[in-house]
Amino acid sequence: MRTAAATTEVRRPSAVRALTTLLAVTAAATVVVDLLNWWYAPEQEFGLAVRTGWAMLRSLGFLLLIGHVNRGRTVAKPLGLILAVTTVFAVARLVVPRQGVPPLPGLLGFALLTGLCVSVVWLLHRSEAVAGHLVRHRKGLVVSGGTISWREVAPKRPPVTGWLLTSRVAAFTYSPLMLVPALVAGGAILDGRLSAVPAVLFWFLAGIATSYAVLLCTAFLMRGKRWARTLLVVITMGVLAVDLPLCWWLLGVDGLIRDGAPLVAAAVLALYGLRRAARAATPPTPA
């Protein structure tokens, strides 16, 4: 049995090369801006350290996105949109102090990162060259005619719209967006607020359970199951019903804004994606 591998290299369009460079700059800027906010923060407490660490992890997300763009994967569009939106929210909650006005370096860094994220989203969704490049699926081993080859494998599931992929990626952010404030609330236990132990433990368990629920739900969602859309709406409402009151109770209004707003943004994007996907799947009514 012979083996074969594709060796032909196709030069990527200039817009795609510009996008990968922009993503690398955005990843680096994310780390620099987060460290800058930490440096100028009036109070470098436990909660700020957790939020800063989570924000800096997004730089790895941009590096992962570069890999998807280089391989021309269709998932790059929804992943880029979610990364851009949540990064802006993550940095915004670090810039604004509990009291007073934000420092000028923090504001400048936030403006720079926002501009980079907007540029990333624009290139991903408005550039025809990028759209023509992001059409590939994952690669795998294919046996055909006595030859083993490593090439693109078309998914067995029915074709899905970009908005459905956006809903899926947005839903995957629910769990980390719940676990980060739960970890911040864990600092209250260290400060002697032992009455918060059951609530924090419940918050952690709910965040972990959400990851499994979303994974199961979106697996059927990608296979075109209508009931999976309803289930994702129920999961989204349940996540908001658990997370927002706990943010307000354990972290106060400040925590509700800093940690609740990013989750609300992800939920709105997931629900909007479901709505757009449903409209696209509905055949037009004949006149």
> Based on the number of CB atoms within 10 Å of its own CB, is 18 exposed (0-12), middle (13-18) or buried (19 or more)?
middle
Whether residue 179 contacts residue 207, with contact meaning beta carbons closer than 8 Å, is answered with: yes
Helices (H), the chain: 14-40, 46-70, 76-95, 104-126, 128-133, 162-172, 174-190, 197-221, 226-255, 261-281
Please name which of 252, 256, 239, 255 lies closest in space to residue 203, comparing C-alpha atoms. Answer: 239
Whether residue 119 contacts residue 24, with contact meaning beta carbons closer than 8 Å, is answered with: no
How far is residue 86's CA from residue 107's CA, in Å, rounded to a whole number?
Answer: 17
> Based on the number of CB atoms within 10 Å of its own CB, is 287 exposed (0-12), middle (13-18) or buried (19 or more)?
exposed
| Token output for 47 | 């909660």
pTM of the model: 0.78
Please name which of 31, 22, 94, 93 lies closest in space to residue 59, comparing C-alpha atoms. Answer: 31
**Contacts with 51 (C-beta within 8 Å, 6 or more apart), sequence order:** 90, 93, 94, 180, 184, 258, 259
Would you give per-residue pLDDT tens digits along the chain (287 residues)? 444 444 444 567 888 999 999 999 999 999 998 888 888 777 767 777 888 888 888 889 999 999 999 988 888 898 999 899 888 888 887 887 777 677 888 889 899 999 999 999 999 988 888 988 887 766 655 555 556 555 555 555 555 677 888 899 899 999 999 999 998 888 767 666 677 788 999 999 999 999 999 999 999 998 888 899 999 999 999 999 999 999 998 888 888 888 898 899 999 999 999 998 887 666 555 54
Distances (CA, A) of 39 to 90, 103, 129, 159: 16, 11, 40, 47
pLDDT of 4: 44
Distances (CA, A) of 271 to 74, 132, 175, 264: 20, 27, 16, 10
How far is residue 6's CA from residue 20's CA, in Å, rounded to a whole number?
Answer: 23
pLDDT of 278: 82
Q: What's the number of CA atoms in the CB half-sphere (13 Å) around residue 137?
A: 11
pLDDT of 7: 42
Q: Where are the domains of the chain?
A: 12-154, 157-281
pLDDT of 2: 44
How wide is the angle at C-alpha 142 spanned by C-alphas 168 and 134, nearest 5°?
40
Whether residue 173 contacts residue 237, with contact meaning beta carbons closer than 8 Å, is answered with: no
pLDDT of 1: 41
Query: If you classify domain 157-281 with CATH, what class do you get?
Result: mainly alpha
| Token output for 256 | 């509700």
Tokens 């730089």 sit on residue? 59
Q: Is 20 helix (H, G, I), strand (E, B) or coil?
A: helix
| Phi, psi for residue 179 in degrees, rounded to 5 | -70, -30
Tokens 């969602």 sit on residue? 221
